[in-house]
Amino acid sequence: MFDLSSPIGLALIAAALPLAGAVLAAILGWSKLGRFAHLPAILSFASASVISLLVLAGVIEGDGALSMSADLGTWFSVGRLNVTFAFLLDPLSLVMLCTVTFIATFIAIFSAGYMRGDAGYARYFSIMSLFVFAMCLLVMSNNFFVLLAGWEGVGLCSYLLVGYYYAKPSAAAAARKAFLVTRLGDVGLVLGIFLLWQAGGYHTTFDSLFDHIAKYPPASGTITAICLLLFCGAVGKSAQLPLYVWLPDAMEGPTPVSALIHAATMVTAGVFLLARCAPLFVLSPEAGLIVSCIGGATALLAGFLALAQNDLKRVLAYSTVSQLGFMFLALGCSGVISPKVAVVAAMFHLFTHAFFKALLFLGSGSVMHAMGNVIDMRKFGGLRKLMPWTHATFLIGSAALAGVPLLSGFWSKDQILHGLLEAGESHAKYHTIYLGLFAVALATAGLTAFYTFRAYFLTFWGTERIPHEAHGHAHESPAVMVVPLVVLAVGALLVGLIVDPLTHGFGHFLERSPSIANAHAGYLAHSNMVEKPHAFSWLVAGLSSLLALGGIGAAFAIYRRGGPEIVPAKLKPIYALSQNKLYVDETYAAAFVKPAEWLASTGRQFDAFLDAIARLLSFAPRLIAGLLRPLHNGLVQFYALGTVLGLAVFLTVVVFRSAR
């Protein structure tokens, strides 16, 4: 057993608190106190957040590896596999734990205002707490079993929350889509885990597994296969090409749920998984290249799709897909440049993105709340005066997302771009491709600034237009919703600057994770590289600032008068392409769903055929039984005769055959 007051004990308490919150909220829901169901959720998240921040404060000083593990007993043990409830506290999990609980606290506070009066109030907070708990379990895990438990728990809770308005067919469909599409990736993940066990000598904890692989490296094809299969899981969960389609549809849930999914609890799981498995990815440059390429393609494509969406939340959803693409771009570099740069850049972007994306979603929720649940930007506009707090905080969030210099998004994006450039300038095998990806990332950065501010201008600038659904009750949201916006806006403004460029604390702290340190060692051994000091590059910073400001300027030039949107005739086809999401959903339907349906109907006919045969076969026993039935005619003398005859037959056979 371990000490509950040790850092890992406290962290486990923090991780378990949301579970208690979920149970309490559910109990409140059963009783008549359902309207207080937000209290357990908020209190458990807040205390978990405080505890994890205290733990962070306790361990942040110092050098050298930081890793504590705890076993809470054996789950099951089969053959060579001994599976325990193993947990791990290292900088990677601690940063995730702090981020998740901190962001979730404010989302929960916002939800208390946003969801007030809803019939499923208690259900909402109960599942939300469970959602956060599953994510905590995921990040604290020290083996793939606990990780998978958290991973699937997250998937289940997202299904329940996206389908929160289950009576609405589109919500039910979106929930199903989210669940099924991410399951598709999970198949790969599970296969990858199996393969990893095989290659890793059936160890279970991450460290011993990676150590075993470092000591006895399997064939490069095997390691690439493992990496790509694990990446499959990440592609599903983190909404990358080709499985990103579920995320934009997941808008059907309540808006704070979107904030939770996009910022803290769900889509970051894939990034975390790859960061955790960095020691594997440094061993396979090919897998890294594929990760980067998929990340780059997703970033660009999603950025393009976000250009012409009319739904404010959809714009934000595509921007999440695009930003996650950025993170994978960085993660994929980790075999070419030091994981200390690549993984840290991805995690840093995840961290800052959590703040401004939660802020933007909550801001859009605030708008939606005021507009009577209308989120179509064509129907409203010019809300600057009406909703001053929402406007100001949304502006900060947009600027951070666009990458305006000195805001948090700028710093993390800069690290990613820098890493890509470094990879492109290296002498690795695929460095030209990385140079190309650098260009893609730059283009996406420009696009990001443009579409973000398009949405901003369309919503807040121009003449004031309010949809009739708002019934003239359009107003600024109550304090319970505004305060979280302000807190997150402060975070979006400053957190990037404080934690890294000023102090270099973030990167330095993360490097103390054994998995990143091991990955770094593996990288040095694998590529014979000399470690270069990481320096701030004015070239990259200048380029990205220029693009960000250029994008904002372009948006200002076109959209400063607000809606309705006028599209130049020459750009109409491109606009339509973007608006219709490049017809990806339709393509998928034609390429996968239709053949599957055909296969299913053929299978059904075949099944009917087999059924007929089975029926024919099953008729035989009844037929025979029907023939035997007259034997039981109810006459006792016949029964006695039967018995005696049977005896006589046996006697004859046994005695005469044997005596022969």
Partner 1 sequence: MNPLSSQALFDQASLSIRFLLPELTLVGSACALFLLAAFRSSRRFSGCLALGAIFAAAGVAFGIPEPSFLAADRFTAGIDPTGVAVFVRWLALGAGVIYALLGFSDSSRQTAPEYFGCLLVVLAGLSMVARVNDLLSLFLALEMISIPTYVLLYLPTKSKAGQEAALKYFLLSLLSSGVLLFGFSYLYGLTGAINLPLVAETLSKASQVGPVSPLALVAIVLVIAGLGFRLAAVPFHFYAPDVYEGAPNGVVAQLAFIPKVAGLVALARIFGLLTPDAPFDAARTLIPLTLWVIAAVTMTFGNLLALIQDNLKRLFAYSGIAHAGYMLIGFLVATEAGAGMQSGFDAVLVYLVAYGLMTVGIFCVLGYLTHTGRTIETVDDLAGLGRTNPVAAGMMGLFFLSLIGMPLTAGFNGKLLLFFGAFETPPTTPLKDLYRILTLIAALNSAIAAVYYLKAMGVMFLRAPLQPAAPAKGYAAFLAAFLCAVGTLGLGVYPKPLVDAARKAAPIPATKSPTVLVVSK
Residues that bind partner 1 (CB under 8 A): 618, 621-622, 624-626, 628-629, 631-632, 634, 636, 638-640, 642-647, 650-651, 653-655, 657-659
Place of tokens 């064509």: 378
Tell me the closest approach of the beta carbon of residue 26 to partner 1, in angstroms. Answer: 24
Tell me the closest approach of the beta carbon of residue 621 to partner 1, in angstroms. Answer: 5
Measured between alpha carbons, how far is 272 from 150 in angstroms, rounded to an integer?
12
Tell me the closest approach of the beta carbon of residue 616 to partner 1, in angstroms. Answer: 15
Q: Which is nearer to partner 1, 5 or 637 (CB)?
A: 637
Measured between alpha carbons, how far is 554 from 544 in angstroms, rounded to an integer?
15
Q: Which is nearer to partner 1, 600 or 640 (CB)?
A: 640
Tell me how crowded residue 368 is: count the other CB atoms within 10 A of its CB.
Answer: 19
Tell me the closest approach of the beta carbon of residue 656 to partner 1, in angstroms. Answer: 8
Rounded (10°) CA dihedral 99, 104, 110, 112: -160
- At residue 418, what is the residue type? H
Burial class of residue 478 in the structure, from the number of CB atoms within 10 Å of its CB (0-12 exposed, 13-18 middle, 19+ buried): middle
Measured between alpha carbons, how far is 454 from 480 in angstroms, rounded to an integer?
28
Q: Which is nearer to partner 1, 166 or 650 (CB)?
A: 650
Q: Which residues of 72-104 are buried (b: 16+ CB within 10 A; e: fewer)?
A: eeeeeeeeeeeebbbbbbbbbbbbbbbbbbbbb
Q: Which of 229, 199, 230 is nearest to 212 (CA)?
A: 199
Q: Which is nearer to partner 1, 78 or 631 (CB)?
A: 631
Find out whether 438 and 564 touch, Cβ atoms under 8 Å: no
Q: Which is nearer to partner 1, 166 or 638 (CB)?
A: 638
Q: Which is nearer to partner 1, 536 or 650 (CB)?
A: 650
Q: Which is nearer to partner 1, 530 or 636 (CB)?
A: 636
Cis peptide before 18 (omega within 30 of 0): no
Measured between alpha carbons, how far is 548 from 555 in angstroms, rounded to an integer?
11
Tell me the closest approach of the beta carbon of residue 626 to partner 1, in angstroms. Answer: 7
Place of tokens 């409140």: 28
Q: Which is nearer to partner 1, 525 or 644 (CB)?
A: 644
Tell me the closest approach of the beta carbon of residue 527 to partner 1, in angstroms. Answer: 53
Burial class of residue 32 in the structure, from the number of CB atoms within 10 Å of its CB (0-12 exposed, 13-18 middle, 19+ buried): exposed
**What H or E segment, with its residue span, contains residue 84?**
strand 81-89
Q: How many residues are there in the chain?
A: 660
DSSP lists the bridge partners of residue 381 as 465
CA separation (Å) from 186 to 138, 179, 192, 230, 270?
14, 10, 9, 9, 11
Tell me the closest approach of the beta carbon of residue 611 to partner 1, in angstroms. Answer: 15
Tell me the closest approach of the beta carbon of residue 646 to partner 1, in angstroms. Answer: 3
Tell me the closest approach of the beta carbon of residue 633 to partner 1, in angstroms. Answer: 10
Q: Which is nearer to partner 1, 57 or 631 (CB)?
A: 631
Tell me the closest approach of the beta carbon of residue 9 to partner 1, in angstroms. Answer: 34
Q: Which is nearer to partner 1, 198 or 652 (CB)?
A: 652
